[in-house]
Amino acid sequence: MGKVTGFLETDRHDRTYEPASDRVRNFQEFVIPLAEREVVSQASRCMDCGIPYCHSGCPVNNQIPDWNDLVYHEDWEEAARNLHSTNNFPEFTGRVCPAPCEEACTLNIEDIPVTIKTIECAIVDRAFEEGWVKPEPAAEKTGKTIGVVGSGPAGLAAAQQLARAGHEVHVYEKSANPGGLLRYGIPNFKLDKSLVARRVAQMEAEGVTFHCGVTVGKDVSTAELEAKHDALLLTGGAEKPRDLPVPGRELDGIHYAMDFLTQQNRRLEQASLVGERLIHANFKNVVVIGGGDTGSDCIGTSIRQGALSVTQLEIMGKPPEKANKAVTWPEWPRKLRISSSMQEGAETLYSVATQSFEGENGAVRRLNCVKVDDKFQPIPGSEFVLEADLVLLAMGFVSPVHEGMLDELGLDRDQRGNVTANMKDYRTSKQGVYAAGDMRRGQSLVVWAIREGRQAARAIDLDLMGETTLPR
C-alpha cells in the first residue's frame, strides 16, 4: 500500500505551463512535466481508497490506486504495464483528458485531488523513453479479418485490441494520415502529432493495415468491405457540426471550428493546402461561438496565428466558481473552468446569444448579440454588437455524417441520429456491422472513445471466436 499519511503530509502540486507570452509564439506543447521525484511524492498522496472513485470516474477504468502505488514505490515499468492494461493510449489522455478521475478523487471533496492525469502522463512518457512500449503482435493469427472505418481514438483502440487478439485488421481513414480528431482536431500545442504517429507505428508493427485517403461509401463501397471482412466496425465519429442558422450566416469568414483547426494541423504537417479556402486568424478580430473544449482550441489556435483579439461567446450562464461537492462529488460537476487557451488572452462572455451576422463585401464584420436568461430567452434591451473578421462556430456536433456510408448501410439510428448499438455487444442493426465511439454515442471525450473501441473489440472478438480474453 502507498503512504498511509501521504495526503496529510504532501500538498497537491501539479504541472505548470510555460508563460502564455512564450507559448503563444509557437504550436508546441507547453505543459512542463513534473520532476520524477515530484511525481513520486504526488503519487504518495493517493489514499488507496476502499472505493476508488477515480477508478470509476475514469471512463476506461484506469486502475489508478494501483499505479499510484507503483509509482510511489518507483516501479515505473509495472505501472506502465498496469496503465496500458486499461488504456491503449495514456499519452493522449494524459494530455487532453479533462480528467473526470480527479473530479472523482476522494481528496477532491476537499479540493485537493491527487494529480492523477499528471502521473498518468509521466508513466507513459517514461515508458516510451525507456523503450518499454513495444509492438505486441499476436502470437497466433485467427484468420479472421476486420475492417475498421475511422481512425480516431475509438478506431485506433479497437484496431489495436483486435490485432493483438490475432485478427487481421484494416483501418480505413478518409484523411491523409491516421488519427482522426487526435491528429487533426486537437491542436498540436495540446497534443504533439508525433505522439500519434508513434502509436500508429506501433500498431503497424502489430499488423494493423491503414488505408488512408479512403472515404468509405465513396472510394470504396460498404458492400465491398462487408464482403471482404468478417466484421466491420464503424468508428467514424460525430462529424456533423451544429450550425447557427441566423441571418448573415452565409457571410464569408464564418467557419466551423473543425475546418479551422484541421487546416492548422495540416499546415503544421506541411500538407498541401493548394486549392483550399484558407482560414487564418492573423490580424483578425476573432469571435468563437461556443464555450467548450473546441472553442478553447479555436482560441489558442487563433492567438498563435496572430489574432488581434479573441472573444468567446457562451450561451449558458457563467458557472459557479466552486462546485457544490455535497451533491456533485464524485460526479462531473458544472463549475467554472478556465482553459489554458482562455488564459492566453481571450475574453469569454456568458449568457450571450448571436442574433445575426453582418458583413461588408460578403465578409463578416460584426455580430449582433443579446444577453439571455436561464431559459436562453433574449433579455430585451441587452443587445450589443461585436466586431469580428473571423467567426468560428464551435457549438458541438449533432450527429455522425449520414450521407455516404451510413445511408448506404441503412443502419438504424437513434433520435439523435447516432448509430444504434448498445454498450454490451456494440452490434448495429446489421449483422456483422458494429459501431463505437462518437458515431454510436454522439460527441464525447477521447477517453470515452478509447473505452468504446476497446469494448467493441472485445464484443467482436467474442462474436467471431465464441470466447475472448480481451479485457473490457
Partner 1 sequence: MTDEIDTMSASAANTADLTVKSGRPAAQGLYDPANEHDSCGVGFIANIKNTASHEVVEKGLQMLVNLTHRGAVGADPLMGDGAGLLAQIPHKFFKKVTDFDLPGPGEYAVAVLFYPNDKALRDKCNAIFKTGLESEGLTLIGERVVPFDNSCLSEGVIATQPIIEQAFIRMPSGLDIDSFERKLLIARKVVSNAIYNDHPEAQGDNGFYIVSMSARTLVYKGMFLAYQLGGFYTDLSDPDFESAVALVHQRFSTNTFPSWKLAHPYRMTAHNGEINTIRGNFNWMAARQASVASRHYGEDISKLWPISYEGQSDTACFDNAVEFLARGGYALPHAAMMLIPEAWANNPLMDDERKAFYEYHAALMEPWDGPASMSMTDGRYVVATLDRNGLRPARYVVTKAGHVVLASEAGTLDIPEEDIIEKWRLQPGKMLVIDMEEGRVISDAEIKKTLSSRHPYAQWLARTQIVLEDLPPVKSEPPQTSESLLDRMQAFGYTNEDIKFLMTPMATTGQEGVGSMGADTPISVLSDKPKLLYTYFKQNFAQVTNPPIDPIREESVMSLVSFIGPRPNIFDLQGLSSVKRLEVRQPILTNEDLEKIRMIGDQADNQFRTETLDITYLAERGASGMDEALEALCARAELAVNDGFNIIILSDRMISADRVAIPAVLATAAVHHHLIRKGLRTSTGLVVETGEPHEIHHFAVLAGYGAEAINPYLAFETLVALHAEGEFPPEVDEHEVVYRYIKAIGKGLLKIMSKMGISTYQSYCGAQIFDAIGLDSEFVARYFFGTGTTIEGVGLNEVAEETVRRHAAAFGADAVLKKSLDVGGEYAFRFRGEAHAWSPTSVANLQHAVRSKDMDAAGAQARYDAFAEEINSASEKALTIRSLFDIKPLSSGPVPIEEVESAADIVKRFSTGAMSYGSISREAHTTLAKAMNRVGGKSNTGEGGEEPDRFRPLANGDRNPMRSAIKQVASGRFGVTTEYLVNADMIQIKMAQGAKPGEGGQLPGHKVNPVIAKVRHSTPGVGLISPPPHHDIYSIEDLAQLIYDLKNVNPEADISVKLVSEIGVGTVAAGVTKARADHITISGYDGGTGASPLTSIKHAGSPWEIGIAETHQTLVLNRLRSRVKLQVDGGIRTGRDVLIGAMLGADEFGFATGPLIAAGCVMMRKCHLNTCPVGIATQDPVLRKRFKGTPEHVINYLFYIAEEVRKYLAEIGVRSLTEVIGRTDLLEQHRLVDHWKSKGLDFSRLFYKPESIGGDTPYQSEVQSHDIEDILDRKLIAEAMPALSGGKPVVIDTTISNVNRTAGAMLSGELAKRYGLEGLPDDTISVNLTGTAGQSFGAFLAKGISFDLVGEANDYVGKGISGGRIVVRPSPKSSIVPEKSIIVGNTVLYGAISGECYFRGVAGERFAVRNSGALAVVEGTGDHGCEYMTGGVVVVIGQTGRNFAAGMSGGIAYVLDEDGSFRERCNLAMVDLEPVQEEEALMRKIHHSGGDLEWHGRVDITGDMTKHDDERLHQLISNHLHYTGSTRAKQILDHWADYRPKFVKVMPVEYARAIREMQEMREAAQVPAE
Q: How far is the CB of 5 from partner 1 (least distance, A)?
A: 6
Nearer to partner 1 among residue 25 and residue 424 (C-beta)? 424
Count CB neighbours of 68 within 10 A.
29
280 or 472: CB nearest partner 1: 472
Amino acid of residue 451: R
HEC assignment per residue over 230-297: CEEEECCCCCEECCCCCCCCCCECEEEHHHHHHHHHHHHCCCCCCCCCCCCCCCCEEEEECCCHHHHH
The distance of closest approach from Cβ of residue 142 to partner 1 in the complex, given in angstroms and rounded to an integer, is 11
Q: Which is nearer to partner 1, 114 or 393 (CB)?
A: 114
437 near 154, Cβ under 8 Å? Answer: yes
In contact, 419 and 435? CB cutoff 8 Å: yes
Which cell goes with 290? Answer: 461556443
What's the min distance (Å) between Cβ of 123 and partner 1?
15
Instruction: Tell me the closest approach of the beta carbon of residue 38 to partner 1, in angstroms.
Output: 22
Of 63 and 444, which CB lies nearer to partner 1 in the complex structure? Answer: 63
Give me the least distance between CB of 63 and partner 1, in Å please.
7
Cα four-point dihedral sign 54, 60, 65, 67: negative
Whichever of 164 and 170 has its CB closer to partner 1, that residue is: 164
Report the interface residues with partner 1, using CB under 8 A.
1, 4-5, 7-8, 47-53, 55-57, 61, 63, 65-66, 78, 81-82, 85, 104, 106-107, 109-110, 139-140, 164, 326-331, 469-472
Cβ–Cβ under 8 Å, residues 125 and 33? yes
User: Which of 12/280 has CB closer to partner 1?
Assistant: 12
> Least CB distance from residue 439 to partner 1, whole Å?
24
Q: Minimum CB separation from partner 1 for residue 383, in Å?
A: 34
- Cell (9 digits) for 203: 500498431
Give me the count of residues in the chain: 472
Closest-CA residue to 230 (of 165, 148, 140, 137): 148
Phi-psi region of 308 (alpha: psi -120 to 50; beta: other; left: phi over 0): alpha
For partner 1, give the closer residue by CB, 56 or 202: 56
